[in-house]
């Protein structure tokens, strides 16, 4: 597929002869001949009445190959963030497909945090686990809870202690009105994960940290990414202990 995918893709709209393929792809006739032979031998194309056409196997193979190349492209774009995680971190490539990746910059270190919490400022439901806490994060969730949104957080012991010591009024007030549910995690997290329903639809995000602070954020509204994030959140939720 890597070598002949371009030829298979050219047949996506219907039958074409070898001369038509040669002109459309701007390659030599010998290249077309070799490509046609290879794709025919793999039963990805077949001869029709007016030229060559994709088989069902060819159409499906091209679709899977296109999805694979998009995932690999996303992986390359997210490499700098993924290197901050251990090799056994529970993560799925679905989060990178079509994602917006926001990296922290020396002149703008809080850009990933602001990007995420600006996106979910009008959410109706939020589910999140996180190993860190930020002022904008606390303010966003306090406002959402006051506005009637359902916010559920799974927090590490360190984060719970910081909330109680530094943001006690916002934290306890949001819990008292019933809009905020907090659970304490059974251990630490290698990254933060957020799943929200916003005015624009479902949204998933992964916040990546280093010892120096936020490294970046991966934001994605693709269905597969949101589904993975939901299932990943539920795993940590099942392990957590409710507070309050």
Mean pLDDT of the 166-172 span: 80
Do 49 and 122 fall within a single domain?
no
Q: For residue 167, how many C-alpha atoms fall within 13 Å in the half-sphere facing its CB?
A: 19
Do 63 and 103 fall within a single domain?
no
Give me the pLDDT at residue 234, please: 97
Query: Using DSSP, how many helices (H) and how many strands (E) does the chain show?
Result: 10, 10
CA 71 to chain centre: 10
Average pLDDT, the chain: 88
Using the predicted structure, report yes or no on whether residue 232 has a pLDDT greater than 70: yes
Whether 136 is covered by a domain: the verdict is yes
Spatial CA neighbour of 194 closest among 119, 90, 92, 87? 119
Instruction: Give how many domains the chain has, as a whole number.
Output: 2
CB within 8 A of 80, min separation 6: which ones? 103, 215, 216
What's the pLDDT tens digit per position in 24-54?
Answer: 988 898 999 999 999 999 999 999 999 999 9
Do 137 and 177 fall within a single domain?
yes
Using the predicted structure, report yes or no on whether residue 147 has a pLDDT greater than 80: yes
Using the predicted structure, report yes or no on whether residue 123 has a pLDDT greater than 90: yes
Q: What distance in Å separates the CA atoms of residue 134 and residue 225, rounded to the nearest whole number?
A: 24
Do 159 and 51 fall within a single domain?
no
Do 187 and 228 fall within a single domain?
yes
Residues above pLDDT 70, as percent of the chain: 95
| Cβ neighbours, 10 Å, residue 41 | 9
Do 97 and 55 fall within a single domain?
no
CB within 8 A of 145, min separation 6: which ones? 151, 174, 177, 179, 180
- Report the CATH number at residue 18: 1.10.10.10
pTM reported for the whole predicted model? 0.71
Per the structure, the complete domain to which residue 59 belongs is given by 5-67
Beta-strand ranges (E) seen in the chain are 45-48, 51-54, 100-103, 125-130, 150-155, 180-184, 191-198, 201-210, 213-220, 241-242
- Report the CATH number at residue 198: 3.30.870.10
Mean pLDDT of the 110-135 span: 92
Mean pLDDT of the 205-220 span: 91
């Amino acid at each position: 597929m890597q070598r002949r995918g371009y030829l298979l893709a050219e047949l996506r709209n219907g039958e074409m002869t070898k001369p038509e393929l040669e002109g459309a792809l701007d390659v030599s006739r010998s290249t077309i001949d070799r490509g046609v032979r290879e794709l025919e031998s793999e039963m990805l194309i077949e001869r029709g009445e007016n030229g060559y056409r994709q088989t069902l196997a060819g159409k499906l193979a091209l679709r899977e190959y296109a999805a694979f190349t998009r995932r690999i492209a996303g992986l390359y774009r997210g490499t700098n963030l993924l290197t901050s995680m251990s090799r056994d971190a529970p993560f799925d490539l679905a989060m990178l497909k079509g994602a917006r990746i926001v990296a922290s910059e020396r002149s703008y270190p809080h850009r990933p945090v602001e990007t995420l919490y600006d996106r979910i400022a009008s959410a109706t439901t939020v589910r999140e686990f996180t190993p860190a806490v930020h002022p904008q994060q606390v303010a966003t969730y306090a406002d959402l809870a006051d506005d009637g949104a359902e916010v559920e957080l799974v927090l590490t012991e360190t984060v719970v202690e910081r909330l109680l010591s530094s943001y006690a009024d916002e934290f306890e007030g949001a819990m008292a009105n019933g809009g905020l549910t907090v659970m304490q995690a059974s251990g630490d997290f290698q990254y933060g994960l957020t799943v929200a329903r916003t005015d624009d639809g479902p949204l998933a995000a992964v916040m990546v940290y280093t010892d120096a602070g936020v490294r970046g954020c991966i934001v994605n509204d693709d269905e597969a990414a949101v589904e993975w994030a939901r299932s990943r959140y539920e795993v940590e939720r099942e392990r957590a202990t409710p507070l309050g």
